Amino acid sequence: MSDFDLVVDDLTLSTKGNIAYLSNDYTSLKVFFDHEDGCVSVHRESDVQAVLYTEGTDESEILSPVTLPKEFMFAIERTIKSYLTKWSM
C-alpha cells in the first residue's frame, strides 16, 4: 500500500493556517500543516485529527485527536506535498 492509499479531499492554504482533509478506505483526517519552500511539515500528532461522521448532529464532523506511527505521519506529508506539486500551489 503506497502512502496508505491516502487522497486529498480538500486543501486550503491560508496565512491563518493550512488545512488538508485526507481520506482512504478506513479513515478521514483533518490535518494542520506548514508549507514553505516546497516542503510540507506536520509538526505534532495533535495537528492530525480523525473526522468522525455521525447522524443526528448539526456538525458534519466530530474531531478526535489520534496517535499515529511515524510512517503514517510521513505518508500524510508526502500525500499533501504530492497534491501541492501536482496543482503547483
Cell 482512504, residue located: 24
pLDDT number for residue 88:
75
- Average pLDDT, whole number, for the chain? 85
**Closest among 13, 14, 2, 27 to 79, alpha carbons compared:** 2
pLDDT tens-digit map of 29-73: 999 999 998 899 998 888 898 887 666 655 556 677 777 888 999
pLDDT number for residue 3:
80
Q: CB of 52 within 8 A of CB of 33?
A: no
pLDDT number for residue 81:
95
CB atoms < 10 A from the CB of 8, how many?
Answer: 18
